[in-house]
Amino acid sequence: MVKFEEIKWPIITLIIIVGGLMVMIAVGFTLGILSDDPDGLERAIIDTRGEDWIENLKSPWDPILGGIESDYLAGIIGILLSVTLMIAIFYLIIYVKKRKE
């Protein structure tokens, strides 16, 4: 059994990182840093496939999270899903590693 003292600092570090990411998303949307102009990858896709192709591009998450209208909420949910997946993978690795011992 893993003791809380062993995982206390990784949990605190993870909370700080997630909080920092959420603040960066909020500041990015609030200040308008995110531009509607295409970046390099989007420009390359538009040049090869056309602008209609990129406008009709659907996310695989659309059936599940398609009703979210707020960019803030979508960013926060994305961060939380990513962190949850990372934690699950880390705990799986720790579980398998401890089981081999």
Q: How does pLDDT run across 18-61, given as a tens digit for each residue?
A: 888 878 777 766 665 556 777 777 788 888 888 888 778 777 76
62: in domain = yes
Give the number of other CB atoms < 10 A from CB of residue 44.
11
73: in domain = yes
Cα–Cα distance for residue pair 34/72, rounded to 1 Å: 12
Q: Map residue 79 onto helix, strand or coil.
A: helix
6: in domain = no
8: in domain = no
pLDDT at position 34: 58
Torsional class of 32: left (φ above 0), alpha (ψ -120 to 50), beta (otherwise):
left
Put simply, whether the predicted model's pTM sits higher than 0.85 gets the answer no
1: in domain = no
User: Of residues 91 and 101, which shows the higher confidence score?
Assistant: 91
What's the total number of domains in the chain? 1
39: in domain = yes
- Tell me the two tokens of residue 47: 């040049």
